[in-house]
Chain A
């Protein structure tokens, strides 16, 4: 899901930066309007960024490919609008420290991972219609959030890669590899859904106010 440097054409990378810039601006505007004191939400966002940053180093061996945790769903569920800036910062550190992703593709990756995270956050907020403190709806929505973020991200990445295969490559082989990699993300999506649900259940029991967006 992290697209490295030199894989996609320059136009796509530039478009990614434009889209990510727009999304970052939009989320910051939303944060300013929604939070009375945005500073109070920063500690939570900062810690979740650390979790997101480290998660990509946890590899899950799923032959024939190698996949890793993303945890974008968890970030979206817990942070809401803060998820996008948090993921942007996390991706930046992943790119400069581990060449995981790349600086030229930072915008594209922020869109591929951050936008589905916002979607997960919106989904989880539906809990206000099902009872904020009831365990079952919370767990189900959290599972959906964790699952969706990875699934939508992997699917959009596959679409983007399929439409930008360079002419000199063996397109059929590359397409097959892309499909295999996308399918390998399905177990990851399930796993992250379960993990997100467990985290939400845990927080619901010990510190439910952490699940409220307006701190």
Chain B
């Protein structure tokens, strides 16, 4: 049988050991794997858009920014979309009036899918030649000799 004195001491120790958030010096780390999105912003010349200002819009509110931030020196920006809000997230990156908007779908489709467009140099060259030929054709048409 524990004496009353012993019980009182044990209770006191127990009370002291109670976790006390304000005074605690222990650190508790926990983790959770989340799916994030990394944006890479580059000029079409290939240079990273360092310092570009990023604005993220949630699917349910395309008018007010959900998150704002800045690209790092490599033009990268990482954020974790709210898993409660599946749908099309819009991310805008701008710097000095240069900028673009990308729409990213999260949720139902499984992994995030992007709809960005990028052309290779060869594709660009062919496109330039196509338009240039169209304009040259116009020039030739109007400069033909009158019959």
The yes or no answer to B40 lying at the interface (CB within 8 A) is no
The yes or no answer to A135 lying at the interface (CB within 8 A) is no
The yes or no answer to B142 lying at the interface (CB within 8 A) is yes
The yes or no answer to B43 lying at the interface (CB within 8 A) is yes
Give A1-51 interface residues, CB cut-off 8 Å to B.
3-7, 39-40, 42-44, 46-47, 49-50
> Hey, which chain B residues are within 8 Å of A99, CB to CB?
100, 117
A110 to chain B, nearest CB (A): 16
Give B110-144 interface residues, CB cut-off 8 Å to A.
117, 119, 124, 127-128, 131-132, 135-136, 138-140, 142-143
Once A50-B136, A180-B96 are accepted as A-B contacts, the answer to whether A66 and B131 lie under 8 Å apart by CB is no
The yes or no answer to B76 lying at the interface (CB within 8 A) is no
B144 to chain A, nearest CB (A): 9
* Contact, CB under 8 Å: A100 / B139: no
Choose among B47, B64, B131 the residue with the greatest number of A CB atoms under 10 Å from its CB: B131
Once A53-B131, A53-B132 are accepted as A-B contacts, the answer to whether A3 and B138 lie under 8 Å apart by CB is no
B27 to chain A, nearest CB (A): 33
* In the complex, number of A-B residue pairs with CB atoms less than 8 Å apart: 95
B110 to chain A, nearest CB (A): 27
* Contact, CB under 8 Å: B139 / A168: no
Bound Cα distance from A54 to B98, whole angstroms: 19
> Hey, which chain B residues are within 8 Å of A7, CB to CB?
94, 97, 99
> Hey, which chain A residues are within 8 Å of B143, CB to CB?
43
Choose among B64, B94, B140 the residue with the greatest number of A CB atoms under 10 Å from its CB: B94
> Hey, which chain A residues are within 8 Å of B100, CB to CB?
4, 6, 99
**Chain A, 163-175, contact with B by CB distance < 8 Å: what is the 0/1 string?**
0001011100110
B23 to chain A, nearest CB (A): 39
> Hey, which chain B residues are within 8 Å of A169, CB to CB?
53, 55, 68, 94
Report B's interface with A, CB cutoff 8 A. Answer: 43-45, 47, 50-51, 53, 55, 64-65, 68, 70, 92, 94-101, 117, 119, 124, 127-128, 131-132, 135-136, 138-140, 142-143
Extra contacts, 5 of them, besides A47-B135, A97-B131, A177-B51 (Cβ < 8 A), are A5-B101, A42-B138, A53-B128, A170-B68, A181-B97
Report A's interface with B, CB cutoff 8 A. Answer: 3-7, 39-40, 42-44, 46-47, 49-50, 53-54, 57, 59, 61, 64-66, 68, 93, 97-100, 157-158, 161, 166, 168-170, 173-174, 177-178, 180-181
List 8 tightest A-B contacts by C-beta distance, closest first. Answer: A43-B139, A177-B96, A50-B135, A181-B96, A46-B139, A59-B45, A43-B143, A42-B142
* Interface pairs (13), CB distance under 8 Å: A3-B97, A46-B135, A50-B131, A53-B128, A57-B124, A66-B45, A97-B127, A99-B100, A99-B117, A161-B97, A168-B68, A170-B53, A174-B96
